[in-house]
Amino acid sequence: GQNIDQPTEMTATEGAIVQINCTYQTSGFNGLFWYQQHAGEAPTFLSYNVLDGLEEKGRFSSFLSRSKGYSYLLLKELQMKDSASYLCAVRDQLASNYQLIWGAGTKLIIKP
């Protein structure tokens, strides 16, 4: 079946580094997306991984290991505005029209 697991909530300190993990089980993996969603707002696209390795984009990096069914989002130099939910979504080529399978999201709380 299809399943995505993320921690429900994490807390980190302003200026620090935090790693948000995502593990998945799909039959036809075809890419993984990370989105950021502030409370009551729309999800915004952060990163995309389809091959193993690290993708870096400013303070945010995303890593993928297809053999382990594992990804993480790394946030550096945390700022208060990074307090948000982070959604992991996997594209499954065996799902109807390559649909995204969404995780429930990780709520990240940044403390001063």
Partner 1 sequence: DSGVTQTPKHLITATGQRVTLRCSPRSGDLSVYWYQQSLDQGLQFLIQYYNGEERAKGNILERFSAQQFPDLHSELNLSSLELGDSALYFCASSPDRGNQPQHFGDGTRLSIL
According to the binding rule CB under 8 A, does residue 103 interact with partner 1?
yes
According to the binding rule CB under 8 A, does residue 11 interact with partner 1?
no
According to the binding rule CB under 8 A, does residue 33 interact with partner 1?
yes
Residue 48: CB minimum distance to partner 1, A = 6
**By three-state DSSP, how is residue 98 classified?**
helix
Q: How far apart are CA 35 and CA 73, in angstroms?
A: 10
According to the binding rule CB under 8 A, does residue 99 interact with partner 1?
yes
Give the DSSP per-residue string, 62-85: EEEETTTTEEEEEE-S--GGG-EE
Q: Which residues pair with 108 in a beta bridge?
A: 10, 84
70 Cβ contact partners less than 8 Å away, ≥ 6 residues apart: 21, 22, 23, 24, 64
Residue from 22, 87, 90, 110 touching partner 1 (CB under 8 A): that is 87
Minimum CB distance to partner 1 smaller for 82 or for 91? 91
Residue from 17, 54, 104, 109 touching partner 1 (CB under 8 A): that is 104
The residues that touch partner 1, with contacts defined as CB under 8 A, are: 31, 33, 40-45, 48, 87, 91, 95-100, 102-105
